Structure 1
Amino acid sequence: MTTTKQIGPESPGTLPSLPMTQDSSAHKVSRWQRTTGALRRAATAPFAGLEALRQTGRSYRHFLLPALNGAIGDQLALRGDQRAIRLSFRRHDADVPAIDLDLTDGPRPTVVFVHGLMGDEHIWQTGPAGLLRYGPRLAADLPHVRCLYVRYNTGRHISENGRALHQLLTQLLQAWPDAVTDLTLVGHSMGGLVIRSAGYYASEELHQAREAEAGSAAAAPWLAYLRQVFLLGVPNEGSFLEQNSFLTALALRRFDLRLARLLADTIDRRSSGIRDLRHARLVDEDWQNPHADDLVPPRTKVPPLPGVQYHVLAASLLKNAESALAQYFGDGLVGGHSATGSVFRRAEQVHVRIFPRQHHGTLLADADVYEYIRERLAANGGN
């Protein structure tokens, strides 16, 4: 005979039927919440991505805009695009005319920093993890030195930026003649070429004024204040990367293939500023010359300015900076031979220093490079 035992709540080893129903319902609700949550995140993901891109763009806008100008800045300027950078002094991420710099803190040695291709004034101010670079460090270590920063459109011809820098420095000294005791220019990469070009146009203006015997004292006033020029990783004899780009496009055009011509056309769309780097063209006549695209084009010699101390600072990826490899590849972007520049090699006022096991970028944030600059400024009355 089979008996059926009534199982009650008090029976050991059993579970009430009601809690089982509640756990099952809770499990179903939890699974539904997870599913709807996943669907909601999937639906809003594109908007979250766009917001992230917007925030990234805002955070890195001082990288994106200079890069755009370096690539096609000449085209932007030609059509009056508002994204085209105009050469100007910079403070707090804004252009500042020379007259509005408010240099009322007394007469001081003044250092003007000029960035390189696709850069801006921030390369002199901050680095990774907020690391202070040369500008703020000099302001802290040499409190009597004034630091100014220039931003320019690196896609334009080097000579166009050189003439504009000459005009800007002229405006600086005309507006604040008693605020500057002496002037130092510091340029990185293309910025050094722009500085050399500015010196060329200033000396030409001064020479013409003296020949005309008309107001030569008012011509290129900043030259009388210029004491030192620091050239950091500057392709004074041209960039091997741009030379290779030119040769590649030239070779592709020899093939009667549509793809080859398309590739050559793409390479040839690089900006005027980048093209000028092939042989470091510093004056208008060099790129305006009908033979400018020859394998060995004519090039105007631009010697050091008389009475000015030049400091040519180059980097070498290799320990032995004198080796053939180091002379060609140099800091990875500028060859060693190009950085030291043949035009500087016999000039007594030129001091050359090579920093081994460094690359093009570390010249902007190296303790030894900074100490070299600081010591020369201090010895020149910046302490």
Structure 2
Amino acid sequence: MKDSNSNSPGRLRRLLGAVGRAALLPVRGAGYLLRSGQAHQHFFLPVLNGALGDQLAARHDRRAIRMSFRRAGHDIRVAELALSEPHQKTVVFVHGLMGDELIWQTGFQDAPGTRRYGPRLADEARVRILYLRYNTGLHLSENGRELNRLLAELVDTYPNAIGELVLVGHSMGGLIIRSAGHYAAAAPQQLRINKEELRIDTGASDSEQLSITNSSSLINKASWLVHLRSVFMLGTPNDGSWLEQNSHFTERLLHRINLFPTRFLSRALNKRSNGIKDLRHAILVDEDWQDAHATDLTPPRTKVPPLPGVQYHILLGSWLRTSLPAAIREYFGDGLVGKQSAHGAAIFGNEADLPPGTTVRTAVFAQQHHGGLLNHPAVFQYIKQHL
């Protein structure tokens, strides 16, 4: 009886302590959410643009992101970059869907003092690092054309500062890089046609004269390809995203059922942005999404081949356990991009079909999910070694 009484104050204190901790859980949880929200607030606009960016741009909403180089959290014009180091190797990082430039630099859940690929490469490889931000809700080809224009402006503004050019893209970013290369490579062909059509003005009437296109601008559009050495694609859905393919199929199926609830759900699904829709089959050129059959289950898809003389590095994650069937592991890939799609067999798979001087290397990182490719020691070492 005496022992029981002597233990009562201790038990009471433990009970009160437990009640106090339980009462503070909501406060602590709210504090964690607040800190997390503050750390991730830079993602608000990128996420909004990824979901609805095409609609924001169409109505000239001030929240619509415009493609730009970024420095210290702000857009910066090419002329303000002030690049001075001569012939320095330059690495441009291109984020994926609903991302921004900070994913290449740091992460909220990273260990204290952790630096990601951008800052580390700048210090350890002594290269120039440039970050890009863009509206991921726009068509892939719209962003590809704008990236082509921006890279041309970069090289034309700093012809002596840009040495070898290296492009690194995560997920959608890799597709934007491929689209930009397509439009840059198309410029010389357009230039040859215009040269053949060019005639000297001899005083003939307007109806007998041909309009002259500014050939210098066409040359500038392709100028950055001369500097391009390597392209790194991290978890890029080169043959399309299984997730978007399933979303499209579901939307079409609900529409075909044609009941009020299914029509409502179908319309809601169809509100996703053009950038997301283009991920279904990696649509990289304007003509494909403008085609009348663009929403078919098997839509037209223009083949965008690799660029000549460029080293392509395909880095992909394999997220599921090796004990699972190979077919399941390959289908889900890194959780968002299937293994076969990341490989891009139709584009990069046949070595005999590669342009002259083009090489393709593939590296698989086990037990890594889509986002994990952005902060993985082995991925960093691979990029650093093959710059």
What interval of TM-score do these two structures reach, taking the shorter chain for normalisation?
Answer: 0.7 to 0.9
Length, aligned pairs only: 328
Aligned partners of 1:197 and 1:282 also within 8 Å: yes
Partner of 2:287: 285
Provide the secondary structure at the position in 1 that maps to 2:123. Answer: helix
TM-score (norm 1): 0.82
Deviation at 1:354, TM superposition (A): 1.1
Residues in 1 aligned to 2:244 and 2:42: alpha-carbon distance in whole angstroms: 24
Counterparts of 1:212 and 1:363, CA distance in 2 = 44
Q: 1:106 offset after TM fit, Å?
A: 2.9
1:176 and 2:158 are equivalent in the alignment? yes
2:98 aligned with 1:139, yes or no? no
Q: Distance in 2 between matches of 1:301 and 1:195?
A: 15
Which string of whole-angstrom CA distances, capped at 9 and with x for unpartnered residues, describes residues 193-244 of structure 1? Answer: 0000000000011221234345575441100000000000000000000000
Is 221-230 or 346-355 further displaced after alignment? 346-355
Distance between the aligned counterparts of 2:258 and 2:163, measured in 1? 61
Q: 1:310 aligns to what SS in structure 2?
A: strand
- Alpha-carbon shift at residue 59 of structure 1 (Å): 4.1
SS in structure 2 of the partner of residue 220 of structure 1: helix
Work out whether 1:344 is the aligned partner of 2:354.
no
Matching residue of 1:318: 320
3-state SS, counterpart of residue 253 of structure 1: helix
Gaps of 5+ in 2: 1-29, 196-214
Q: Single out whichever of 317-326 and 61-70 deviates more from structure 2.
A: 317-326
Asked if 1:201 corresponds to 2:205, the answer is no
Q: Does 1:236 find its partner at 2:238?
A: yes
Residue 55 of structure 2 aligns with which residue? Answer: 75
How far 1:142 moved relative to its partner? 1.2
Structure 1 runs of 4+ off > 2 angstroms? 51-61, 128-131, 210-219, 318-322
Structure 1 residue 55: Cα displacement: 8.0
Equivalent of 1:86, from 58, 66, 75?
66
Q: Are 1:104 and 2:74 counterparts?
A: no
Cα distance, 1:322 vs structure 2:
9.2
Q: Which residue of 2 aligns with 1:29?
A: none
Alignment deviations for residues 136-173 of structure 1 (CA, whole Å, 9 cap, x no partner): 11011112x00000000000001000000000000000
Kindly tell me: are residues 370 and 56 of structure 1, through their superposed partners in 2, closer, same or farther at Cα, counting changes over 3 Å?
closer
Cross-structure match for 1:268: 270
User: Does residue 258 of structure 1 match 2:268?
Assistant: no
Is 1:114 matched up with 2:94? yes
One-letter amino acid of the structure 1 residue matched with residue 96 of structure 2: G
The letter for the 1-side match of 2:64 is A
Please give the alpha-carbon distance, in whole angstroms, between the structure 2 residues aligned to 1:60 and 1:366. 20
Give the drift of 1:256. Answer: 3.3
TM-score by length of 2: 0.81
Which residue in 1 is equivalent to 2:43?
63
Q: Which residue of 2 aligns with 1:333?
A: 336
Provide the residue aligned with 1:224 in structure 2. 226
Q: Distance in 1 between matches of 2:194 and 2:259?
A: 57
Contact kept? 1:115, 1:189, Cα under 8 Å: yes
What letter corresponds to residue 363 of structure 1 in structure 2?
Answer: L
Between the aligned residues of both structures, percent identity stands at 55
Preserved CA contact (<8 Å) 1:57 1:64: no
Local SS of the residue matching 1:60: helix
State the alpha-carbon separation in 1 of the partners of residues 177 and 48 from structure 2: 22
The alpha carbon displacement at 1:64 in A equals 1.0
Q: Which residue of 2 aligns with 1:356?
A: 366
Aligned to 2:257, the other structure's residue is in SS state: coil
Q: Is residue 149 of structure 1 aligned with residue 131 of structure 2? A: yes
1:186 paired residue among 168, 180, 192: 168
Cα drift, residue 317 of structure 1: 1.2
Structure 1 residue identity aligned to 2:68: S
8 Å Cα contact 1:113-1:149 kept in structure 2: yes
On the 8 A contact 1:84/1:153 being kept in 2, the answer is: yes
Judged with a 3 Å threshold, the aligned counterparts in structure 2 of structure 1 residues 317 and 57 are, in CA distance, closer, same or farther, namely closer
After TM superposition, the structure 1 stretch with the greater mean CA deviation from structure 2, 314-323 or 107-116, is: 314-323
TM-superposed CA distance for 1:104, in Å, is 1.3
C-alpha deviation, 1:346, in angstroms: 1.3
Which of 1 and 2 has greater Rg?
A: 1
Inter-partner Cα distance in structure 2 for 1:228 and 1:185? 6
Q: One-letter code of the match for 1:236?
A: N
Unaligned runs of 5+ in 1: 1-48, 378-383
Mean CA deviation greater in 121-130 or 215-224:
215-224
Aligned CA distance change for structure 1 residues 54 and 371 (closer, same or farther; 3 Å):
closer
1:12 is aligned to none
Q: Distance in 2 between matches of 1:115 and 1:218?
A: 25
State the AA in 2 paired with 1:118. Answer: M
Separation of aligned partners in 2, 1:341 and 1:117: 19
Tell me the distance in 2 between the aligned counterparts of 1:56 and 1:355: 28
Residue 270 of structure 1 aligns to a residue in which SS?
Answer: coil
For residues 122 and 266 of structure 1, the distance between their equivalents in structure 2, rounded to whole angstroms, comes to 31
Out of 209-218 and 177-186, give the one that drifted further. 209-218
Displacement of 1:326: 1.8
